[in-house]
Structure 1
Amino acid sequence: MRIVRLANFVTVHTGGLRTTLRELGKGYQDAGHEAVLIVPGRGFKDQQTSQGRVITLPSAPIPRTGGYRVLAGRRELIKLLDSLEPDRIEVSDRTTLRWTGNWARQRGVRSMMVSHESLAGLLGVWGMPKRDALADRLNRRTAEAFDTIVSTTGFAAAEFRRLGVPNLVEVPLGVDLEVFHPGREDASVRSRYARADELLVVFASRLSAAKRPELAVDTVAVLRNNKVPAVLVVAGDGTRRTSLAYRAARLPVRFAGHIADRKAVAALLASADVVVAPGPVETFGLSALEALACGTPVVVDEQSALPEVIGDAGIAVPGTAEAFADAVSQLMERPREERRAMARARAERYGWSRAVEGFLNAHGAQPAPALIRPAVPRPRPVVRPTREPGADEAGATRYA
């Protein structure tokens, strides 16, 4: 069957979402289905990739968001969806694309909304008043518009569960256990950032308010004050980059920027002593899971979904620099081989094949019998851009 996926807010800095879209698309293709992804970008593009067909529609950037774009041309998108004739649609945006649920219902197409974030949590980060009431109202509308709501953790499912949503399904995401592996540890990578007698701490995420990168910097400040020779590497970019540099001016903080090469990211994570993930509204936290897969323990905010993901392979604490620093020191008291083995063992519970199976179950689209052969796509409709093409791209059931 043809599964058409739509996503907004996809940039080079949205590593978790990009990874999820890529791995699910590849999994759908391998399972004998045809995957089509529609995303916004600078110019029109229609290409066949390892994750299936990817169509990029021209979209203007949203001011002061770090380059985010949305599929704003509803008439153009409806025309494209009608031409694609999907059997299923899968939507990764609960705000600007919620209307596609009604489009699908009118045409007899089954629909799925993937909840990648806690709406109430994000509203809290943005300082919105009466956030719970607003989130409940919007979440109820979302649940009514789509046949299935997928959440990736119990934390993410909670705001739908409290509404008694009957079409809620919980499906954990996965991690690439081959790319992210303890064998990626590299002494030359480590020496690039820290001396042999220093503690290498890594923050690998988008530099936005929701991720709280400032807490990573403050954690290293506390560690240094406690006479722990800690060094922080910040792997990522975003709107908080400049303010973060000012905050870290007198501290041993190295800014690596956005690292596009996944193997290079894996080498950094595997070479670190500990990774910190201070975001309080993380609903899964792929970067933390990637760290565990590399054999590196993680300190996370206890308010997020990450405690249920990392288990005893890390430590969950309140969102203060003192608590994070203390947790880092506690992890370093564990024997090195023990903490690395625990981290890897935890990550091995989360393979992408299991995530793909769970998503297909949620779609009511079991893997096709011909799993060992590629999907045979139906004839591709010709999609023509409306503008001149640019040069660039653009209670819950748990399936384990």
Structure 2
Amino acid sequence: MRIVRVANFVTPRSGGLRTALRHLGAGYLAAGHEPVLVVPGATESDEMTDQGRVITLPGPLVPGMGGYRVMLDRGRLSATLARLRPDSLEVSDRSTLRWLGRWAKRRGVRSMMVSHESLDGLLRLFGPGVSRRAGDLINARTAAEHDQIVCTTQWAAQEFARLGVRNLRQVPLGVDLERFTPANHDPRMRTLWSAPDDVLLLHCGRLSPEKKPQRSLATLAALRRSGVPAVLIVAGNGPMRTALQSEAADRGLPVRFLGHLTDHTKLAALLATVDVAIAPGPIETFGLSALETLASGTPVVVSSESALPEVIGTAGIAAPGEGPAYADGVRTLLSRPEATRRAQARAQAERFPWSSAVDGFLAAHHTSVAAVTQPQ
């Protein structure tokens, strides 16, 4: 089965969507299918990779988005898909690629939209007075134009479920349990940024407004006011980095900005070494970074407004508001014996292997691993 996947807003080096696409593609390939990924880039390319064939079509940079590109040439994308002749089309962007559902219907190709973002959540960022009718209209049309809608959490599925959408399926994503493990814990790494008795916190993610990274600074400030000797590591880049660095300096907060970590070994060690991580984004529909942190044996304090409480379970704490409640969550996690909280984090992550995600996505494509591995 040729599964052609199309995605916009994919960075060349990092990001949760890029990670998910890579693992799902590798899983499809291992199951005997022919995955093809079409994404935007600076130039056109076509190569075979460990996730199958990857085609890059030229797309402009999105201003202020830190490296994201988008394919805007519908004619070129349509021609590419026509040449590929997919058996099933998997789409990963409702804002710019929804039209592909209609393209697929006209050609008798099965289509699936993967909802990686919440329109309810995005509209909520504009304030409580913003009507969600526009989001409901877009979601209803999206469901009508595609054979299958896939959401990764119940939280993300709610905006479709309340409309009575029947072609809706919930499939959690996964985590690389071999790359991210408590065995990566590195005591020497702590000495780079903190004293022996300091509490080492981590904010790992894109520094952009919708991710609310300022909440992590507020958490640090609240902890230090209460006498907790906390230090914050920020791993990630984005349009808010300069403002956050200035705020930390003005407030005298011990924050270490590492930027984007290209060394995967260093990142894995960092996730396993810190005491507690903070994931304050209010519109996260799954939270791969938080799950990677749990797999590394580190508990996480997350936004109660997001889907992350579903993912972290009792291995972390869900906090409301802009900072003080996150500090309470950190203190609660630190009150647990270290061995206990790290074991709970790892056990929760082990519920999300990528193999289960691949099985779920293939079922949504109306196929299965068993169907292609039986002797002929």
TM-score of the aligned structures, taking structure 1 as reference length = 0.91
**8 Å contact 2:124–2:130 — kept in the other structure?**
no
Aligned to 1:200: 200
Q: C-alpha offsets along residues 280-321 of structure 1, whole Å, 9 cap, x if unaligned?
A: 111100111111100000101111111111110011111221
Pick from 245, 261, 265 the counterpart of residue 263 of structure 1. Answer: 265
Q: Secondary structure at the match of 1:180?
A: coil
Q: Which whole-Å deviations, capped at 9, do the CAs of 1:365-389 have from their partners, x for residues lacking one?
A: 212655499xxxxxxxxxxxxxxxx
Moved more, 202-211 or 20-29: 202-211
For 1:380, the equivalent position in structure 2 comes to none
Q: Provide the C-alpha distance between the structure 2 equivalents of 1:55 and 1:267, rounded to a whole number of angstroms.
A: 32
Choose which of 347, 351, 366 in structure 2 pairs with 1:349.
351
CA distance in 2, matches of 1:185, 1:37: 34
Contact 1:32/1:368, CA 8 A, preserved across alignment? no
Query: Which residue number in structure 2 is paired with residue 214 of structure 1?
Result: 214
Deviations 1:32-83 (A, max 9, x none): 0011001001111111100111111111112222222111000000100000
Aligned CA distance change for structure 1 residues 132 and 315 (closer, same or farther; 3 Å): same
2:369 aligned to 360, 367, 377, which one? 367
Q: What CA distance in whole angstroms lies between the structure 1 residues aligned with 2:191 and 2:63?
A: 39
Q: C-alpha distance in 1, partners of 2:241/2:373?
A: 44
Aligned residues: 373
> What is the rounded CA distance, in whole Å, between the counterparts of 1:356 and 1:115 in structure 2?
16
In 1: Cα distance, 2:126 partner to 2:79 partner: 34
Task: Tell me, in whole angstroms, the C-alpha distance in 1 between the residues paired with 2:290 and 2:64.
Answer: 27
Matches within 5 A, 1:1-400: 1-12=1-12, 14-127=14-127, 130-249=130-249, 250-367=252-369, 371=373
- Matched residues in 2 for 1:261 and 1:131: separation? 43
Q: Could you report, residue by residue, the CA deviation over 1:91-132 in whole angstroms, capped at 9, with x for unpaired residues?
A: 000011000000000111000000011111112224596341
Task: Check whether the contact 1:136–1:163 (CA below 8 A) recurs between aligned residues.
Answer: yes
Structure 1 residues 68 and 235 mapped into 2: Cα distance closer, same or farther (>3 Å)?
same
User: Which structure has the higher relative contact order (CA within 8 Å, separation 6+)?
Assistant: 1
Q: Deviation of residue 190 (structure 1)?
A: 1.9
TM-aligned CA deviation for residue 191 of structure 1: 1.6
Measured against aligned partners, the alpha-carbon deviations of 1:116-164 in whole angstroms (never above 9, x if no partner) come to: 1111111222459634111101111110110000000000000000000
* Mapped contact 1:120–1:131 kept (Cα < 8 A): no
Name whichever of 259-268 and 235-244 sits farther off: 259-268
Consecutive unaligned residues in structure 1, runs of 5 or more: 374-400
Q: What is the CA–CA distance in structure 2 between the aligned matches of 1:177 and 1:202, rounded to whole Å?
A: 20
RMSD: 1.5
Task: Name whichever of 361-370 and 154-163 sits farther off.
Answer: 361-370
For normalisation by structure 2, the TM-score amounts to 0.96
